[in-house]
A = this chain, B = another copy of it.
Amino acid sequence: MAQPSTKSIPAPKGTRDLYPDDLLRQRYITEAWRRVSIRHGFDEIAGPTFEMLDLYKKKSGEGIVSELFSFRRTGGDDDYALRPEFTPTLARMYAAKANALPSPCKWFTAGPYFRAEKPQRGRLREFLQWNCDVMGGDTDNADFQSVFDAEIICVIVELFSDSGFSPNDVLVRLNSRSILHSLLIHAGVEQSQVDAGVRLLDKWSKIDDVTRARECNAIGLDLNALNRAFQIADSMGSSSSRSGGITLGSLTSTANIDVTQLDRILRLVPKGWAIFDPGIARGLAYYTGTVFELIADGERAVAGGGRYDNLIELFGGPPTPAVGFGMGDVVLGLLLQDKGLMPEGPELMEALSQKPASLRPEAFVIANEAGEAQVEPLLAKLRRGVESEAWNSRADKKPWDADRYCSNSGGVSPMHARRSYKSTKNIGKLLADARKQHAKFAVIIESDEAAKVENLDTREDLGTFPLDGVGAAIAERL
């Protein structure tokens, strides 16, 4: 066997050696990912670290395919690639078992990903990524799909809120491919050129006039129409207010574009954390509806995602609506450090030794017709928990102490809470759904003000509580 020289061989460029302190800091991030995913009712899955190269040729963006680490096995004839993103694996896994899976299917995963690009601050060749996706669900009901879009955004917002960030640090910038399409049509781009137009719009602000003209010319796009579309989008971007509603409204009055869906999503997301930004297009080719990015300090992208309703069919599954996001550990780690939100030493060790989120749902929320409108608000409350007054009046609050401190001083810890997405109003069927998912307590909302709580293990009826008291009622029995 060949024996290379004994001088030291370094780690590959753009990868990390994580010594014990580094590892704990990374684990602080992955544990937060898991905790928030589980509380929002996502089940964990995992795929292979490498895939057949063809999987990425199907519908990833060109940028990704050119930055793959690809390889063959000695003596074999299959081409493989280290995975650069999770969505193609997800689509393949969903397509393979579509008929046997619950609907909707809410999955999360966290693991290593690879891009053969030039390493720089915040961008490595190997990094961890967290993905959450909702697939399927009642396809006749567009409202449900908006709920899924909103849930996906709520999970990310909760990750930041739970880690001690505020909307001053990081904001969801939200747009919709269908709004972009309407905008391009309104500006005079032809229907057949709209997809190409979206891709160009995505990089419009980063290229000069000469390049703009050349790229339009190359694919036969009308430069003036694209400039008009960009100006409308840009003027709204600059007038962005945190309410979201104003810019959306102006889009309707200026260009007569339907903004109902996006407006619905914005109303379901925690106040102040998301704004409409017509400048967000997302490079990946597979997005079809809602698209969003999380931007920190007005510049750094920390996460992004959107709706990809055609992708699962492309991978051999049935037509399936889907929405999801991905977030890397590198920029998030830098942000936590920069804002002083990463604990150190024994504090970090204690934070990582706390009880994890319960895999069994602690609350399963269902409603009769009268309680319907309260399902989403109550879910959000249970998943976020209630901070105690003692905690709120403390001078030196460390986000990693919040849960433990609150539950010991009259607050309610964040809970793993699920709901039924079935359109039936038959309470018996909805309770069967709760039991199938191994929930501990069922919450049956019967009006705008009150809900019954039932222990599903003992079948004990705990009585009726005002909606604000449901969390505490369950918490003291856990």
Binding site for B on A (CB under 8 A): 1-4, 6-13, 15-20, 23-24, 26-27, 43-52, 54-55, 57-58, 62, 65-66, 68-74, 76, 78, 80, 82, 89, 92-93, 95-97, 107, 112, 114, 116, 126, 314-316, 345-346, 349-350, 352-360, 438
Q: Decide if B52 touches A8 in the complex (CB within 8 Å).
A: no
Q: Decide if A82 touches B50 in the complex (CB within 8 Å).
A: yes
Instruction: Tell me the bound Cα distance from A360 to B360 in angstroms.
Output: 27
Residue of B nearest to A117 (CB): B73
Instruction: Tell me the bound Cα distance from A73 to B116 in angstroms.
Output: 7
Instruction: Tell me the bound Cα distance from A94 to B99 in angstroms.
Output: 49
Q: Decide if A51 touches B11 in the complex (CB within 8 Å).
A: yes
Chain B residues closer than 8 Å to A16, beta-carbon distance: 46, 48
Q: Which of B20, B27, B43 contacts A107 (CB 8 A)?
A: B20
Q: Decide if A55 touches B9 in the complex (CB within 8 Å).
A: yes
Shortest A176–chain B CB gap in Å is: 24
Q: Which of B1, B54, B350 contacts A9 (CB 8 A)?
A: B54
14 pairs from A and B in contact (CB 8 Å cutoff): A1-B62, A4-B57, A8-B95, A10-B92, A11-B52, A12-B51, A16-B46, A17-B45, A20-B107, A23-B46, A26-B46, A50-B82, A50-B126, A352-B356
Q: Decide if B3 touches A23 in the complex (CB within 8 Å).
A: no
Chain B residues closer than 8 Å to A27, beta-carbon distance: 44
Instruction: Tell me the bound Cα distance from A345 to B435 in angstroms.
Output: 12
Q: Given A50-B126, A71-B70, A355-B355, do A11 and B316 touch, yes or no (CB 8 Å)?
A: no
Q: Decide if A315 touches B15 in the complex (CB within 8 Å).
A: no
Q: Decide if B314 touches A6 in the complex (CB within 8 Å).
A: yes
Q: Which of B3, B44, B72, B89 contacts A58 (CB 8 A)?
A: B3
Chain B residues closer than 8 Å to A1, beta-carbon distance: 57, 62, 65
Shortest A89–chain B CB gap in Å is: 8
Residue of B nearest to A34 (CB): B27
Shortest A45–chain B CB gap in Å is: 5
Instruction: Tell me the bound Cα distance from A3 to B57 in angstroms.
Output: 6
Instruction: Tell me the bound Cα distance from A50 to B49 in angstroms.
Output: 11
Q: Which of B13, B50, B314, B353 contacts A12 (CB 8 A)?
A: B50
In the complex, the count of this chain's copies comes to 2
Q: Decide if B52 touches A19 in the complex (CB within 8 Å).
A: no
Instruction: Tell me the bound Cα distance from A96 to B47 in angstroms.
Output: 32
Q: Decide if B360 touches A350 in the complex (CB within 8 Å).
A: yes
Chain B residues closer than 8 Å to A96, beta-carbon distance: 8, 17
Chain B residues closer than 8 Å to A3, beta-carbon distance: 57-58
Q: Decide if B15 touches A50 in the complex (CB within 8 Å).
A: yes
Q: Decide if B112 touches A49 in the complex (CB within 8 Å).
A: yes
Known pairs A18-B46, A353-B358. 13 more at Cβ < 8 A?
A: A1-B62, A3-B58, A6-B314, A8-B92, A9-B92, A12-B51, A12-B78, A23-B46, A49-B49, A49-B114, A50-B126, A349-B359, A356-B356
Shortest A41–chain B CB gap in Å is: 12
Instruction: Tell me the bound Cα distance from A112 to B357 in angstroms.
Output: 25
Instruction: Tell me the bound Cα distance from A3 to B23 in angstroms.
Output: 40
Chain B residues closer than 8 Å to A8, beta-carbon distance: 92, 95-96, 315-316
Chain B residues closer than 8 Å to A112, beta-carbon distance: 49, 112
Shortest A435–chain B CB gap in Å is: 10
Chain B residues closer than 8 Å to A49, beta-carbon distance: 15, 49, 82, 112, 114, 126
Residue of B nearest to A42 (CB): B20
Instruction: Tell me the bound Cα distance from A51 to B8 in angstroms.
Output: 13
Q: Decide if B80 touches A19 in the complex (CB within 8 Å).
A: no
Q: Which of B70, B95, B358 contacts A74 (CB 8 A)?
A: B70
Instruction: Tell me the bound Cα distance from A126 to B82 in angstroms.
Output: 12
Instruction: Tell me the bound Cα distance from A398 to B24 in angstroms.
Output: 31
Instruction: Tell me the bound Cα distance from A50 to B17 in angstroms.
Output: 11
